[in-house]
């Protein structure tokens, strides 16, 4: 769902022409974040995948479907979130005529960081959930470990409520029974962060249209 905020639209347009690192050469397009700029919660992934690169939208491939299922279980409406990635271009290598995800380097993450910072400044979310180590480390530093600190709620300069959880792609890659456990933990982390969201912003256009993220205060 595209935002209609003029500052966001300008930012998206600038990012669409980004050549700050070579990744734009192999990608179809910049995949910018999407969602209302009034969102209280921002979810940050690593980088667009094959489907995202083709469609120009974050989390519309297999990882996005798993995330959608977890969001539904946590009673969070995707339309109320701002979803974005640390890196805005798909990085891939070819194998058997398929484009396979390749991990972005620290340099590529660094080159893209100004877009993420600009998104976070504009939205000023109450809560941020980083999906996976690349997103968490880009905002918290390279020593952050999902294995050690997954789900821990922190207060950061990015948002008063900040947590990191496993990336949905890592859950899809895991074998049973880890896969089921990892999925339950993702839902648990989403529920925990939802429980810490403040009530919908009263001055926002979204608030005028009615609250859609179910918080314990207004739903249970």
Residue 119 within binding range of ligand URA, rule CB under 6 A: no
Task: Kindly tell me which of 43 and 200 has the beta carbon lying closer to ligand URA.
Answer: 43
Restricting to residues 26-55, name those near ligand URA by CB under 6 A: 45-49, 52
Restricting to residues 126-185, name those near ligand URA by CB under 6 A: 169
| Cβ at position 52, least distance to ligand URA in Å | 4
Q: Tokens 């972005």 correspond to what residue?
A: 104
Task: Kindly tell me which of 166 and 215 has the beta carbon lying closer to ligand URA.
Answer: 166
Tokens of 61: 């491939």
Cis link prior to 121 (omega < 30° from 0)? no
Tokens of 65: 């479907």
Residue 215 within binding range of ligand URA, rule CB under 6 A: no
**Residues 87, 113: Cα–Cα separation, whole Å:** 8
Distances in whole angstroms, Cα of residue 162 to Cα of each of 39, 101, 151, 218: 15, 26, 9, 22
Task: Kindly tell me which of 45 and 125 has the beta carbon lying closer to ligand URA.
Answer: 45
The count of C-alpha atoms lying within 13 angstroms of the C-alpha of 157, restricted to the half-sphere facing its C-beta, is 5
What residues make contact with ligand URA under the rule CB under 6 A?
A: 45-49, 52, 58-59, 61, 63-64, 85, 169
């Amino acid at each position: 769902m595209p935002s209609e905020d003029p500052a966001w639209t300008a930012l998206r347009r600038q990012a669409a022409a980004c050549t700050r690192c070579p990744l734009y050469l192999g990608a179809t397009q910049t995949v910018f974040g999407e969602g209302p700029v009034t969102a209280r919660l921002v979810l940050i992934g690593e980088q667009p995948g094959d489907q995202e690169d083709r469609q120009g939208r974050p989390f519309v491939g297999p990882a996005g479907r798993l995330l959608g299922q977890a969001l539904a279980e946590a009673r969070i409406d995707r339309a109320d979130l701002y979803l974005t990635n640390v890196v805005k271009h798909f990085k891939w290598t070819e194998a058997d005529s398929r484009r396979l995800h390749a991990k972005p380097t620290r340099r590529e993450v660094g080159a893209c960081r100004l877009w993420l910072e600009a998104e976070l400044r504009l939205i000023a979310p109450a809560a941020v959930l980083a999906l996976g180590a690349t997103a968490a480390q880009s905002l918290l530093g390279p020593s952050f470990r999902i294995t050690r600190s997954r789900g821990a709620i922190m207060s950061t300069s990015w948002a008063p409520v900040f947590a990191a959880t496993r990336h949905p792609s890592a859950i899809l890659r895991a074998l049973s029974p880890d896969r089921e456990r990892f999925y339950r933990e993702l839902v648990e982390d989403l529920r925990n962060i939802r429980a810490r969201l403040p009530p919908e912003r009263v001055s926002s256009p979204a608030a005028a249209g009615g609250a859609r993220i179910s918080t314990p205060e207004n739903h249970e």
